[in-house]
Structure 1
């Protein structure tokens, strides 16, 4: 489906922009949220990303996948936002909703609590570790795509992934008082 959009780059109209937003909007928002940890700011970033994509569509050279290019724009905008004073004044965590069907009110509470705890652990990782973990697990980018997006080597991506997973596991055990 991604390649269908690439052939229309030179003549993007509002319908095509809408189609791009429909196809990639959730991914862009989730990546922005993974970087910022803020619901409202992620909405703003996602809107800014698609505005920039609309204006800069002709600059896409096809050297990477469209999704990688889109995430690169998302990352740059999010980093610029995080450098601003606004980001330092906002809360980093919102409500995390479980997508699982609960067997009971208690089960629903426990599932929501576990999901919230895991999200807090992931969001508390350093940006470098959190970013590679979420790009791989949530957005299903390959090691090579992550390396291209972040302008780092594949070995660095693998190293950060390993460190991120170990750190999440360690913090999860500490949170649950497991040995």
Structure 2
């Protein structure tokens, strides 16, 4: 915690190792989660997160502070994920529950089960979306990035982001309504 405050004040005073260690502690889980939204397999996401921090370590000297560390790491992650998707075939993937439990209130064991099943279903539907919709939905709703941050990260316009969010929500709604009708 102390190193975080010190890094926020003056990151130049600390070694590459200290800085990368702080970045791993601060953003490691988020990087794995983001990679998982692309790769849809936990082990691949964890492996890719290691690649992200290796790349971060190697290129830390070139970081120009034009964006936040988080945006920089997310940019590296997105680019590595897109490269991986172009080079790997991802079939028969077991989808894990992506969304955390904290947003659902606990009432009864039955409601917990229903909520858990809904989260699994929603996370599966989000992960089944085409990448261009999935990435903006995850970044906007789950990671709570602003349009401007998503624009910087993905290199697309605000209007494109809004359009993809709109279309992604429509696809999710159709999947949810279709999934509910089959029960």
Please say if 1:139 is aligned against 2:143: yes
Aligned to 1:73: 76
2:47 aligned counterpart, secondary structure: helix
Cα 1:74/1:9, change in 2 over 3 Å = farther
Please say if 1:107 is aligned against 2:111: yes
Q: TM-score, normalised by structure 1?
A: 0.86
1:27-46 → structure 2 map (5 Å cutoff): 27-46=30-49
Q: TM-score, normalised by structure 2?
A: 0.85
8 Å Cα contact 1:36-1:92 kept in structure 2: no
1:128-167 → structure 2 map (5 Å cutoff): 128-167=132-171
2:90 aligned counterpart, secondary structure: helix
Which residue of 3, 25, 29 maps to 1:26?
29
Please say if 1:61 is aligned against 2:61: no
Pairs aligned (count): 177
8 Å Cα contact 2:125-2:172 kept in structure 1: yes
Give me the whole-angstrom Cα distance separating, in 1, the residues matched to 2:6 and 2:69: 8
**Deviation for aligned residue 1:54:** 0.7
Which residue of 126, 130, 149 maps to 2:130?
126
Give me the whole-angstrom Cα distance separating, in 2, the residues matched to 1:125 and 1:75: 16
Larger mean Cα displacement after TM superposition, 58-67 or 163-172: 58-67
Give me the whole-angstrom Cα distance separating, in 2, the residues matched to 1:32 and 1:10: 30
Where structure 2 has 5 or more consecutive residues not aligned to the other structure, the ranges are none
Where structure 1 has 5 or more consecutive residues not aligned to the other structure, the ranges are none
Please say if 1:93 is aligned against 2:95: yes
8 Å Cα contact 1:9-1:57 kept in structure 2: no
RMSD: 2.5
